Amino acid sequence: MSQPVDASRIPELQSVVALALEEARRRGATQAEADASLQKGLNATVRLGEVETVEYQRDRGLGITVYFGTRKGSASTGDLAPAAIRDTVAKACTIARYTAEDACAGLADPEHLATEFPDLELDFDWPIEPDEAVALAQRCEAAGREVDARLENSEGATVSTSRGVRVYGNSHGFLAGQSSSSHTLSCVLIAQAGDDMQRDYWYTTARDPRELEQAAKVGRVAGERAIARLGARRLPTQKAPVLFAPEVARGLVGHFVAAIRGGAQYRKSTFLLGAAGQQVFPAFVQMHERPFLRKGLASGAWDSEGVRTRDRELVRDGVVDGYLLGSYSARKLGLVTTGNAGGLHNLLVDPSAGAPDAAALMRQMRRGLLVTELMGQGVNGVTGDYSRGATGFWVEDGAIAFPVQEVTIAGNLKDMYRNVVAIGADLDLRGGIRMGSLLLEQMTIAGE
In this predicted structure, what is the pLDDT of residue 437?
97
Residue 159 in domain: yes
According to DSSP H, which parts of 230-305 are helical? 246-259, 262-266
Percent of the chain clearing pLDDT 70 (strictly above):
100
Contact 432, 253 (CB under 8 A): no
236-248 per-position pLDDT tens digit: 999 999 999 999 9
By residue range, what is the domain housing residue 91? 7-228
Q: What is the mean pLDDT of residues 3-20?
A: 95
Q: What is the DSSP letter of 3?
A: P
Last residue of a domain, one of 228, 263, 287: 228
Kindly give the interhelix angle for 10-26 and 82-97, rounded to the nearest 10 degrees: 40
Distance CA 228, CA 221 (A): 10
In this predicted structure, what is the pLDDT of residue 324?
98
Last residue of a domain, one of 208, 228, 248: 228
In this predicted structure, what is the pLDDT of residue 118?
95
Residue 1 in domain: no
Residue type, 64: I
Distance CA 74, CA 62 (A): 11
Task: Verify that 211 and 246 share a domain, yes or no.
Answer: no
SS3 278: coil
Q: What is the CATH number of the domain that holds 122?
A: 3.30.2290.10
Residue type, 340: N
Q: In 281-419, which ranges are E strands? A: 287-289, 312-316, 319-320, 347-349, 368-375, 385-396, 399-412
Residue 30 in domain: yes
Task: Verify that 223 and 262 share a domain, yes or no.
Answer: no
Question: CB count, 10 Å around CB of 127?
Answer: 8
The mean of the pLDDT values for the chain is 96
Task: Verify that 98 and 189 share a domain, yes or no.
Answer: yes
Task: Verify that 166 and 281 share a domain, yes or no.
Answer: no
229-275 per-position pLDDT tens digit: 999 999 999 999 999 999 999 999 999 999 999 999 999 999 999 99
Q: Is the pLDDT of residue 2 over 90?
A: no
Residue 405 in domain: yes
Contact 181, 207 (CB under 8 A): yes
Q: Is the pLDDT of residue 376 over 90?
A: no
In this predicted structure, what is the pLDDT of residue 448?
80
Find how far residue 68's CA is from the centre of its chain: 34
SS3 432: coil
Residue 435 in domain: yes
Q: Is the pLDDT of residue 315 over 60?
A: yes
Task: Verify that 206 and 333 share a domain, yes or no.
Answer: no
In this predicted structure, what is the pLDDT of residue 1?
45
Residue 2 in domain: no
Q: In 50-133, which ranges are E strands? A: 50-68, 71-77
Residue 233 in domain: no
Task: Verify that 273 and 292 share a domain, yes or no.
Answer: yes
CA dihedral sign of residues 349, 350, 352, 354: positive
* Secondary structure element (H or E) that encloses residue 170, with its range: strand 153-170
Contact 367, 317 (CB under 8 A): no
User: Phi and psi dihedrals of 116, rounded to 5?
Assistant: -120, 140
What are the helix and strand counts (H, E) for the chain?
9, 17
Kindly give the interhelix angle for 215-228 and 130-145, rounded to the nearest 10 degrees: 40
274-294 per-position pLDDT tens digit: 999 999 999 999 999 999 999
The count of structural domains within the chain is 2
Task: Verify that 242 and 203 share a domain, yes or no.
Answer: no
Rg (C-alpha) for the chain, rounded Å, is 24
Task: Verify that 74 and 128 share a domain, yes or no.
Answer: yes
Task: Verify that 376 and 395 share a domain, yes or no.
Answer: yes
Q: Is the pLDDT of residue 144 over 70?
A: yes
Task: Verify that 170 and 242 share a domain, yes or no.
Answer: no
Distance CA 420, CA 274 (A): 21
Residue 157 in domain: yes
Last residue of a domain, one of 228, 246, 275: 228
Task: Verify that 224 and 253 share a domain, yes or no.
Answer: no
Percent of the chain clearing pLDDT 90 (strictly above):
97
52-67 per-position pLDDT tens digit: 999 999 999 999 999 9
Q: Is the pLDDT of residue 198 over 90?
A: yes
SS3 309: coil
Distance CA 272, CA 276 (A): 9
pLDDT-derived band at 14 (thresholds 50, 70, 90) equals very high
Task: Verify that 160 and 253 share a domain, yes or no.
Answer: no
User: Phi and psi dihedrals of 429, rounded to 5?
Assistant: -100, 10
